[in-house]
Structure 1
Amino acid sequence: MPYADLPDVRIHYQLEGDAAKPVLVLSNSLGTTLDMWAPQATKLAEYFRLLRYDTRGHGQSQVTPGPYTIAQLGADVIDLLDYLGIQQTHFCGLSMGGITGMWLASTHPQRIKRLVLSNTASLIGPPENWTTRAQKVLADGVASIAPAVVSRWLTPEFAQQHAQQVAQLEAMLSATPAAGYAASCCAVRDADLREALKHITAPTLVIGGSGDLPTPPADSAYLVSSIAGAKYVELEAAHLSNLQQPERYTAALLTFLQQ
């Protein structure tokens, strides 16, 4: 497995596809690894040089002392692109990955060709909920919250019909280091990108889920109204729409990114 030794963190990443093709970065949600993009990876790698990575504190990436900030997580992406010699990229981020994308597109516009903000929001509150969750996982481990969190990632009907996928998601979440998860909770808690949205100039697609509880369609609507020229696609899904509607999600990405 390849690792990038960046200025203050070691990041685990996977780069696949033809080097002559445009680059697409996929950025994970809180508590997941680059494997969350498995339903999209094979198809997307046909059209793009696909870069996936484990966010700082997650998966096989290094757990550095927290709390983290979205600016710190975004800087990791810039450092990783520099490490790999990539000057410009498309970027798709889901949930926390989407917040990272907002920061990147507003502060490093020259690096982002097209932007996809999926199941995310410019402000996800209330802040005390994130503080309580961080304290909980530090005290009892991430597994202590896994069933409750995963229950909000998928609609109840889908979860009932896909017990194996629920178990896999709970296992992925439970394996997340408590210190990394808690530090990332602080990054989401403290992130307010509402003002930054007006500075995003990259063509932007917002993907929402009709049954998304953590970031409901109203949050998507706010992004669309705040980012000039943004387009919107809504899927019949909860928070992890790329897993619940993999074919439609991938089709939406390809349609937008290949324009």
Structure 2
Amino acid sequence: MPLADLGDVQLNYQLDGDPTGRPLVFANSLGTDLHLWGAVLDRLPGGLRIIRYDLRGHGQSSAPSAPYTMGALIRDAERLLDLLEVRDCIFVGLSIGGMIAQGLAVKRLDLMRGLVLSNTAAKIGTAANWRQRIEAIRRDGLESVADSIMERWFAPTFRKSPQMLQWRDGLLRQSIEGYIGCCTAIAGTDFYTPTSGLRLPTLGIAGSDDGATPADLVRETVDLIPGSKFEVIRRAGHLPCVEQPDAFADQLITFLKEVGHID
């Protein structure tokens, strides 16, 4: 996979689909990488230029020293899209990826044709809760929080499946510095006011069993944007694109058609 050298960080990214198609950009969640979207990509139609990347400190991207700011994460996405000469994309962000999507839309609306805000919010958790998690990870590693994270990520049935162990292992492979860096970025972010000023087509997606960003929290954020749509995927937690890829892809495809991004 190619690396985009942005100076202070090197971002791993993957291009799929039609190089001349309409751009569709995916940003992953805390503790995952660009493979988060694999099952959804398999279900998308042709005619799309698909761009995935690993957030700084995740996957094969470099992991600068923590802490990170949300502004830095937004700037990473901005510089990558400028490098790839992307305009008028649909930007799909999950969890922290959805926070990046909100901030990027506020900063660079010229890059955006629409937003898909999945399992995210304008503000996630409290600074105190993030500080506790950071302290636990610094002291005892990611293993110490892995089981509680799986409970928030996945619905009960999925947690009993062998697939869940793959995502747990993936979490443990992430850079501790990168994970903590992104935790500090989330802890310092409150986008209620800037997101309420957005005016572009937006789809919100929540999971009925999400223990990290409950459906009501996602809806509250999506409702800040006039004309937005909101959907709940049943029997899914924080990563519905993993647990229910058919339902996630169906919602995404419907939105892409409604905004004229695909025929």
TM-score for both structures, normalised by structure 2: 0.94
Q: Deviations over 1:188-228 (max 9, x none)?
A: 11110000112212200000111112111111221232111
2:197 counterpart of 1:199: yes
2:224 counterpart of 1:222: no
Q: Structure 2 stretches of 5 or more lacking a match?
A: 259-263
- Matched residue, 1:14: 14
3-state secondary structure, aligned to 2:248: helix
User: Any conservation in 1 of the 2:23–2:87 contact (CA below 8 Å)?
Assistant: no
State how far apart, in whole Å, the 2-side matches of 1:151 and 1:220 are: 18
State how far apart, in whole Å, the 2-side matches of 1:96 and 1:86 are: 21
- Matched residue, 1:165: 163
- Matched residue, 2:241: 242
Using the TM superposition, name which of 246-255 and 85-94 deviates more.
Answer: 85-94
State how far apart, in whole Å, the 2-side matches of 1:157 and 1:47 are: 35
- Matched residue, 2:76: 76
Question: How many residue pairs were aligned?
Answer: 257
Could you list the structure 1 runs, at least 4 aligned residues long, displaced by more than 4 angstroms after superposition: none
2:198 counterpart of 1:178: no
State how far apart, in whole Å, the 1-side matches of 2:157 and 2:87 are: 43
Using the TM superposition, name which of 111-120 and 80-89 deviates more.
Answer: 80-89
State how far apart, in whole Å, the 1-side matches of 2:204 and 2:214 are: 12
1:117-156 correspondence to structure 2 within 5 Å: 117-156=117-156
Q: Deviations over 1:42-98 (max 9, x none)?
A: 233624111011100011100012211111111101100111122331100011101
User: Any conservation in 2 of the 1:143–1:175 contact (CA below 8 Å)?
Assistant: no
2:253 counterpart of 1:254: yes
Q: Structure 1 stretches of 5 or more lacking a match?
A: none
User: Any conservation in 2 of the 1:6–1:83 contact (CA below 8 Å)?
Assistant: no
State how far apart, in whole Å, the 1-side matches of 2:143 and 2:33 are: 15
Q: Deviations over 1:97-152 (max 9, x none)?
A: 01111101112111111100001111112211111111222222222211220121
- Matched residue, 2:261: none
- Matched residue, 2:44: 44
